[in-house]
Each structure stands twice: as C-alpha cells, then as structure tokens.
Structure 1
Amino acid sequence: MQSSGKGFSRLLFSAAGILIVLVLVVAVNVLSSAVNTRADLTEENLYTLSGGTRAIVKGLDLPVAVRFYFSRDLAQMPMFLKNYAARVRDVLREYEVKAPGKIKVQELNPTPDSDAEDAANLDGVYGQMLGDGEQLYLGLALSCLDETVTLPFLNPQDESLLEYQITRAIYRVSHPEKRVLGVLSSLPIMGTPPNMMMMQQGMDARGQDPWYIMSELKRDFDVRELTAEVETIDADIDILLLVHPKEPTDKLLYALDQFVLRGGRLIACLDPLSFIEMYSQRQSPMQPPGPNSSTLGRLLDTWGVQFAADKVVVDLKYQTEWQERGQRRRDPMIVGLGKEAFAGDDPSTSQLETALLAYAGAFTGQGAEGLTRTVLLSSSGDAHLIDGFEARMPVNQIVGKLEAEGSRRALAIRLAGTFKTAFPDGAPGTSPSQPAGDGDKPADGTDTPAADADTPADGTDKKPEGGKPAGDSLKSGKGMVVLIADTDFLHDAFCIERMQVFGQTIVRASSDNIALISNLVEQLSGDENLLSVRSRGVKSRPFVKVQDMKAAAETRYQKQIDGLETELNEAVNKLRELRQAKSPDQRSVLTPEQEETIAGIQRKKAQTAKDLKEVRKEFRRDIDALETRLKLVNIGLVPLLVAAGGVAVAILNRRRMAGK
C-alpha cells in the first residue's frame, strides 16, 4: 500500500512538473515575441550590425527614409523568399533601433494596380515575373532630401552582403558628393568601342563592355580615365588606380612620382604575365603581339621594393581548376587563395576569405628608409617562382621541374610613410624610360635632400591651381602606395558569376576580388567605416588539410606520371621511326624482325598507357577517400559525441536510481 502511494505521488509530481514546463515555455515565447530579442550565434556575427554601420548611422545629420517593397500576399511565393524577406525585415529593424529618428523604415506591399506598385516603379524597383505570371517585388529604396538609391532586387544568395549594401546606400544618399578616382590602364578595363575597320571587312568588330569592377567603383566614385601620355596627375584626383603599365615612359613615372609625393594615394596592379592579355592575343590574330608584363622601374627601386617582371608564382597548395578550350584542368599558376593568405590584422583584408589570381608575380624587399611595408596578400608556403616563358609550358612539365620545397611569397603589399623622389634632378625630358639607377643620384653620390625649399617641413604639399606642386618638383612627401602583383584578378572571369533569376540577370561574387580592390580604394579614400562593413564577404571554409595533402600527392604522383608519359612518347617515336625506316624496295612489306619489334613496342605502348591510367586513377581515389573520411568526421563526429554523452548520462541516472 505504501509503495503504491509513493508511485502515485511520483506520477502526480511528474505531471505537475511537465505542466509547469509547458506554461514556462508558452510564457517565454509570448514575452520574446513582444520584446523582439535576437541572439546571433554565427561565428562571424553575420546578423549583428557591425561597428562601421553603427558609426555611419550615428553620424547622420538628416533622416533617411527606407522603403521596403515586398509582395507578401503572393499565393505562389517561394518559401525561401518569404524567409529571406523576414530576415531583411529584422535587419532593417536593427537599423531603426541603432539610429532612432534617423532611420525610418516603411514596408509596402505592391499589389497589382496599387499606389504601392506605382511607388515601387517610380523608385526603380520593378517586379520579377514568377511562373504563374504574378509579379514579385523584393527591393529597397532609400532617400535623403533629393537623393535616392535603389536596390532593385535583394538576392538571397548575397545575404552575407546585405548589411554592406544597405549601409553603402545610406552613406551614398547622405553623402551625395563623390571623390575622384583616376584610372590608367593598358588593358580594356573601361571597355572598347567597335572596330570600324574590322566591321568593313565583315569580321566581328563588336566593342567590349567595361569590366564589372568599374561599374562597382562608379557607384561610389567619380571615375576619370587617364592615358599613358599624361605628364601631370590633376590636383582633384584623390586616388589613382594604375593597371598593367607596360613600358612606362619617364614622363609617366615622373607624374606618378609627384602624385605620390603630394599626398596622392596610388594602387598599382603589375603583372609578370597578363593571362587575359595573352588570351586576347590568341583570339585576335590581327592584334600585334607585345610584352605581357608590366612594372614601375625606378619607382620601385627608390621605394625599396623589387618585382621581377619575368617571374611567375606557382602555388601547389592553392592551384585551381580552370576550364580552357572545353577542358577542365588544374593549374598551379591560377591560384585560389584562402583566408590564411590575407593579412588578418589589416581592416582592408581581415575578413576577406577568397581571392583568385592568375599568373601572378611576387614582391621582395622591406621598403626604403622612412617607409613601412605591410604584406596584405601572400601565397602558401609551397609557392615557387618560374620564368615567364616556362609558364607557357604544359603544367606537368612545370611541376616536374620544381624544387622540393617552396616558400611564402608576397602578392600584395602596402607602403606608407615618407617617400623620396625617383627624379632628384627634376622632371625628365622626352627620352624613353631609363633603367632604374641612371641619374637617380647627384654626381657626388650623396643622397638627395629631404625636401626642397618650397616643400613644407611637415611633408605636406602645396597645390597651386593647375595641380602642379610648388617649385619645380617635390623631393619628398608623405603618401601611401598599394602594390598588387597581378592584373587578371580584376577581370570578370575571376570576380563574378552571372545567373538568371526570374528572367533577370543577377551578378554574384565568385571570389572576394572585387571586395579586395574596393576595400583598398575605400581605405585609401579615408572612409574606414564602410570598409569594416564591406569585409563581410564571401564565406568559404575549405579543407585546408585536404589542400596540403593534394599538393603533396600531386608532387609525388606527378613524377611517376611524367616517367610513364616519357616512356609512352619514346615508344610512339620509335614506332614512327621504324615504319619510316623501310628501304625503297620493301614497299609495304616489313621483315619479320621489324614486325616483331613493332609488335613489342605496341605492347609496351598499351601497357604504359594502362599503367598511366591506373596511376591517375589511384591518385584520384586517394584524394576522394581522404575527402570522404574528413566529411564523415566533420558531419558525424558531433552527433556521435552527443549520442554517447546521452547514453552515458542515462546509464549514470539508472545506476543512481537503482542505488536508492
């Protein structure tokens, strides 16, 4: 009787406990929905407004109106879009909370023939056609006074960039003035017009569109194109983007020299071998061949930096698959860099995770006295330098010639501090560029003075009308220069992917290349708040261990593959020689000895081809097995540990109950 009473009491308390827990859960849900609290559990805090955003919205002098257009009543609305719209709504609410009275969000539902639909179309937000003919609206329009910036369609695949897109739009409407960005390039980065001569000959004479990076930069900067014949950089140009300066004249180098000394900010993209230019020359036989490398000659020497314009980086760890002529192949000169390649403590690169470079070079040297050198982007520790002409050889031959161990190479660096002129004797004449070192010092060999009489003691510049410095030329000055050992990374093929979404072409980043150059331009323009927001880029978590093992296996198997391919080529050549070595009276008849030799070579050829196939198959099998094991561990280990912990707790509880 007593045991049955205990059982009833235990049952009663258990039922009461469950009821209390249910009441608490309901109460917590009701209170949380009213308070609208959120917890961001992502590693990168993707759903928490960054410090840069908070600084920008806090500094607003005038209110910004945000109109969120979303077709929430569509019957055929895809669920992933509904969920994404809810997340956009939550982010906008965060903006209102962080800037009360300065950010005012209004959500509109553009139904057919409604005032909301008319307002959306006036703002530049247009409906996207769904399969059943309904119009889907999912966009933003931001206004401040007479300025309006539109985000016509919010792509869910770019959710990691949502905060940056909104914050940049807020910044643009509240700061309508644009800084001037000069662009000087020997590559068609700004696009090219149609070729009328080729058109008259019935050939494809279509011009080229500007590279996508330029459309991105034009959103925030007044972009001005310069030519290689420029002798002075205009005074109102704040930043200069220099791309692939091939065989620069002394006049151009002097203009760049004086631009940096007067406080201008320079981003120079150099290249030992422009992959895009080389490919273009192959596709255009009428285009005259020329050098595919670029450098800055005496400027680099004066800055204490070396750049071998004939050396290409080969990186076995970061080698990337590349499609050429319909075939995909791994190319160690097209490198897909991971997060560890970026400088983790620099705001321009700290949160970038991927970069794709092609046939890049490397910088050496610690920078001249008075300059601070910072490495922004580097290769893996398994990178090598090869001659430019070797880079055009088959990949298997290149890998077979590499040394046992590589080293880390600097692919992008920043120089900051007090620069000295590379032209101590003043402006050059009309002669072409001389090798660095000719005429760089006075006849007595002493260093040039820190500044001429017209240069202020603090290193700042005087800018009279016309953009010319005070006096004949500046001798020193504070400045900042970013050097990047590649130009191809700016091309669309290495930056973006285009896709069709609801009948509209959507562009998404395939790497952080655009974010990298935009970060650098924004950093040099002095706007670091936007920079800290932009750094939430494309997130990638590669199997680093797999990449290391792939590189090691590639080296190990490549020697075996090279040996087999050599044997196969020798067999084919010997077979060809025997067939061509018949005497004139033999005609088509071979001697028994020749036939036996040919049959033996053919057997060896077939066996070598079979062995080669097996070696390649074994290589792929080892790599696939490694990836599978790592995926199983990553996916299954945590559930197994949780399950084991649960079983252990259950066993302990049972033993404890049995002891009572």
Structure 2
Amino acid sequence: MQNQQISRSAYRIIMLVLLAVLFLAVNMFSNVMFRSARVDLTENSLYTLSEGTAEVVSQIEEPITLRFFYSEELATDYGRIRTYAGHVRDLLEEIRARSNGMIRLEVIEPEPFSEDEDLAMSLGLKGAPTQSGDIIYFGLVGTNSVDGLDSIPFFTDEREQYLEYDIARMIQNLSRPERPVLGIVTNLPLDTGAGGLMSAMRGESLPFMIYEELRNRFEIEFLEQQFQAVPTRVDVLMIAHPRPLDMPTLYAIDQFVMRGGHVLAFVDPHSEVSLTAGPNGDPVRGYTEQSDLGPLLESWGVNYDPTEIVGDRALAQRVRTGLDARRQESDYVIWLAVPRENVDTNDIVTSDVARLNLGTVGHFTPVEGATTVFSPLVTSSEDAQLYDVEYVKGGPKPDDLLRNFDPAEKRFTIAARLSGPVTSAFEGPVDEAPVAPEGAQSPRKSQDKAPPYMAQSEKDANIIVFADSDIFDDRFWVRTDSYLGERVAQPIADKAVFVMSAIDNLMGSNE
C-alpha cells in the first residue's frame, strides 16, 4: 500500500515536470515560429496596418532606418504617454515586419546628459519637461541611404488618430532619392512678394512667407502660363490665381490629372493680393482680379461662379474705419476669420487648422451626377450671403455691407477635396499651339511633348480647390519682424499650415 502511494506521488511529480517542459517547449517554439504573427483584438484595429500603408511599405527599394526615441523610465509615472508609446512601438514593429527587411528599427532611450540625448536634440526632436525638471523624449527620426532625414519631433495626443498616416508619409518621403517637385502656375508675385518684379530688380525682393516655406520643403518649378504638357518630373501642380489660360494649357492640365497627377488649385473672384502687391501698394503689373479654370472645374465635379463673393456676418473680421481722429472698428463681412468649427477636422489637411483669415472669397458646389466625391474642407457659417463681384469692386463701406444683409441660412463651401474617377473635359487632343500676344516674346513651352490623349483618369483623382488667392498674402496671416537681419514670422492664422499640409498630402500616393 505504501509503495503504491510512493509510486503515485512520483507519477504526479513526473507529470508536472513533463507538463512544465512541454509548456516551455511550446513557448520557445511559438516565439521562434510566430514571432511576426499578431492578432489585433482592439475595437478599431489600432495595431493592424491599413492596405495603403502596407502598399507603401512594400514599395520601398532602398533601406530606411527608423529611430524611435522614448524615455521609458522617465515616463513610468505618465500612464497616457506609456500607453501611447506602446501603441507607437507595436505599429513600428508591424511596419518593420512587413518591409521585407528594407526598414531597420532602433529603439533608443535617451537618458539625461547622455550621448543619446545629444543625438535626439541634434536630430530636431523636442522633449517635454516634467514637474521634476526631467525631459521626456517621445519622437521618431527616419533616415535613408542618401542622407535624407524626416522626423516626428514629439508624438502628441492631438495627432494620435493620424499616427499611421504620419509614419507612412515619413516612409514614403524617405523612399524618394530626391526632393519632390512642385510645379507652380500663377499670376501672383510669390517669389518676389509685395513690390513685384520692379522691387526684385532693385534687389528689394521679399518673397511671400508661404513661398519661403515651399522652397525649403520642395523643388520648385515655375511653369509659364502657356504650355503644352506638364513636365513628367512634377509630382504636384499648384495653380494659384492664374491669368486666363488658353485651351492648349487647360488641356495639358486636364491630361496631367488623367495620368494620375494631383492638383491644388486656388481661384478667386476678386484677388486682394493682386491689387495691392505692386510697387507702393498699387496693383501688380499685368494683374488679374478674377481667376477661373474654365471647363476643368466642371469636369472635376465642381461648380464655381467667379462673379459671386461670400459675405459672412458671423465670421466677419473686425477692421478699422474712419479718419485717424475718429478711428473705430467695424465688422467687414467680406473678410472672413474662419474658426476651427468651420473646417473639417477629420481631413488630414485641415486637422491642425484652428483659424484662417480670408479676403473676398468665392464658393463651390458639387456638380449633380459627378463621378467624384465632393468633400467640403472650409465653409462659411449659415449667417452668410452672396454679393455680386461688381458691387464689391465699387468699394462698399463695412456699414453698407451690413445694412441690407440678408443671410441665405446655409453654409457655402470655400475649399473642398475632390476624389474619384474623372472624365476629360476634352473630347480629343487639342493641337493648337500656344500663341504669344502681338509684340511679346514666344512663350516658353514645356520640353515634355504632349502624351497621347486619355478620356478617363487611369487612377482616382485627388484634387483640392480653394476659392481664394489671398491665402498667400502675408498681411492676412503673419506678422514679420527683423532679427539680426533675418525675417522672423509670427503666425496669427494657419494659412501656411493649410497650404503645406495640402501639398504634403497630395505629394503622397493615393495609398
């Protein structure tokens, strides 16, 4: 009997040992065989790559290094940062695993006064100070094999819903060996600023601040306003209040869109910047008050009437009126101060826009039955009405505009995104070559020959339209000071945020 009890005890011990060995073996096997396998059980699939990101990652041709700087020990008492950091790290691990070895991930904990902290600071990362005086780093730096660098200085709560987008955009930027090319078609003095060409010839040129931002980020290629094809090297075409474009030029833009080109277009029923950016505050030489894109807008799925200006009593800017001795302020309903409540915070382009100061804007409506999706980005309030542009040109006083104000009780769309398949605005190729005005030099034509005609877009279009050109005028969004001979900008509105976000977004693939 006693021997039976001993054998049973020994049997139990042996079974427990075997089960423990089996448990360890299964764990070791799963760690080796299923290291890259993940099951996402979160409500919104926070840790599952979207198809777009997976496509971007799969197209990488040159190695990219991602350095994730995270002060893990210092963040121990900050549960929100700790949870978010786990999300970031898991997403980065998933991206690395899906990159076919093209992405290298380094996780760095920059301890105070260490070489890693110096590295984080030198790469442009921003630390968040704690109550104890320590600095928490929580950012990402990406580099490629040709010294390209991009970064997310600090992962803020406000951008968490765009985390995957921001990382995918960084990866796509780094996968390009050269800076992306922004083509510009404009009749505005973007590169000379107020004073125009005459000031530039005297060496007094002060480019618009938004243009300075564009030049720092992209390679700029100005296109003359008559051309037969958009150069193939252009990634995004920005059309900013152009002169009236002839049919061959409109056709060239149309076919650029048909071949998957992305467009950011600014048209204006009454351009304030054209009227004041010349010498001594006079109009720019060869200025145009109105701009339009003829048949293109309708083919893209949007209606635009260049004779209508939106007035908004609820969003009116306060302006000074009267003589110097009796200066007072009044609501100027055709100059709008658009708050965050009137922008689409769910669109990546306007998600960080808190205020836009606009002057004499137009509006868009969707074309009935269009194949594109019309998504408003910036709108008026419902306390708005339309004015005829000729009445506005007459220079009505602020009180005159208010006196007979009759609100339409509906919102007007000032900026919109157009996405989806597009049909060409032309039934066939336009063979007519651009012709210079009598006495003028022949226009410079694009060296690219016009490719064969396409009736339908080969990819879904991605177009952003804005019914205002004064978005580029410094006086509407920035105060500038001089410090040690350099211009220092103090933004009072988010116009640069909109323009840069729009171009950054359009520079990316549809994925």
Q: How many pairs are equivalent?
A: 425
Deviations 1:392-447 (Å, cap 9, x if unpaired)? 321110111333545432323426423233365732344589xxxxxxxxxxxxxx
Task: Map 1:423-442 onto structure 2 (within 5 A).
Answer: 424=428, 426-430=430-434
Select which of 478, 485, 490 maps to 2:467: 485
1:398 — aligned with what? 401
Select which of 82, 88, 91 maps to 1:95: 88
Task: Map 1:231-242 onto structure 2 (within 5 A).
Answer: 231-242=228-239
Select which of 266, 270, 285 maps to 2:267: 270
Counterpart residue type for residue 404 of structure 2: K
Deviations 1:546-602 (Å, cap 9, x if unpaired)? xxxxxxxxxxxxxxxxxxxxxxxxxxxxxxxxxxxxxxxxxxxxxxxxxxxxxxxxx
Counterpart residue type for residue 242 of structure 2: P
C-alpha deviation, 1:148, in angstroms? 5.3
Select which of 413, 418, 422 maps to 1:418: 422
CA distance in 2, matches of 1:238, 1:386: 37
Counterpart residue type for residue 426 of structure 2: A
1:284 — aligned with what? 281
Q: Does 1:245 align with 2:242?
A: yes
C-alpha deviation, 1:284, in angstroms? 3.2
Q: Does 1:314 align with 2:323?
A: no
Counterpart residue type for residue 186 of structure 2: S
Task: Map 1:152-551 onto structure 2 (within 5 A).
Answer: 160=158, 167=167, 170-171=170-171, 174-177=174-177, 179-191=180-192, 205-212=203-210, 215=213, 219=217, 222-281=219-278, 283-285=280-282, 287-288=284-285, 290-300=287-297, 305-322=302-319, 329-338=330-339, 341-342=342-343, 354-364=355-365, 366=367, 370-391=371-392, 392-403=395-406, 405-413=408-416, 414=418, 416-422=420-426, 424=428, 426-430=430-434, 466=448, 468-470=450-452, 473-477=453-457, 480=461, 481-494=463-476, 511=493, 513-525=495-507, 527=509
C-alpha deviation, 1:384, in angstroms? 1.3
Give the secondary-structure state (helix, strand or coil) at the position aligned to 1:420.
coil
Is the radius of gyration larger for structure 1 or structure 2? 1
In structure 2, the CA distance between the partners of 1:430 and 1:336, relative to structure 1 (3 Å rule), is same
C-alpha deviation, 1:214, in angstroms? 5.9
1:142 — aligned with what? 141
Counterpart residue type for residue 312 of structure 1: I
In structure 2, the CA distance between the partners of 1:185 and 1:466, relative to structure 1 (3 Å rule), is closer
The gaps in structure 1 that reach 5 residues or longer are 1-44, 74-81, 128-135, 434-464, 530-660
Deviations 1:142-171 (Å, cap 9, x if unpaired)? 2445345366976x9x87458769737843
Give the secondary-structure state (helix, strand or coil) at the position aligned to 2:422.
strand
Counterpart residue type for residue 107 of structure 2: V
The gaps in structure 2 that reach 5 residues or longer are 1-43, 97-104, 128-134, 438-446
Q: CA-atom RMSD, angstroms?
A: 5.3
In structure 2, the CA distance between the partners of 1:86 and 1:54, relative to structure 1 (3 Å rule), is farther
Using the size of structure 2 for normalisation, the TM-score is: 0.63
1:108 — aligned with what? 110
Deviations 1:443-495 (Å, cap 9, x if unpaired)? xxxxxxxxxxxxxxxxxxxxxx945322xx44444563433211222445555
Give the secondary-structure state (helix, strand or coil) at the position aligned to 2:88.
helix
C-alpha deviation, 1:313, in angstroms? 0.7
Deviations 1:165-224 (Å, cap 9, x if unpaired)? 973784367524454432222223345699896589xx8x521235336626864x5443
Greater share of helix: 1
In structure 2, the CA distance between the partners of 1:509 and 1:416, relative to structure 1 (3 Å rule), is farther
Deviations 1:2-34 (Å, cap 9, x if unpaired)? xxxxxxxxxxxxxxxxxxxxxxxxxxxxxxxxx
CA distance in 1, matches of 2:289, 2:186: 13
Counterpart residue type for residue 367 of structure 2: Q
Greater share of strand: 2
Farther-moved stretch of structure 1 (290-299 vs 169-178): 169-178
CA distance in 1, matches of 2:328, 2:302: 38
Give the fraction of aligned pairs with identical amino acids, expressed as a percent. Answer: 18
Counterpart residue type for residue 333 of structure 2: P
Query: Does structure 2 conserve the Cα–Cα contact (< 8 Å) formed by 1:355 and 1:513?
Result: yes
In structure 2, the CA distance between the partners of 1:255 and 1:170, relative to structure 1 (3 Å rule), is closer
Using the size of structure 1 for normalisation, the TM-score is: 0.51
Give the secondary-structure state (helix, strand or coil) at the position aligned to 1:320.
strand
Farther-moved stretch of structure 1 (316-325 vs 221-230): 316-325
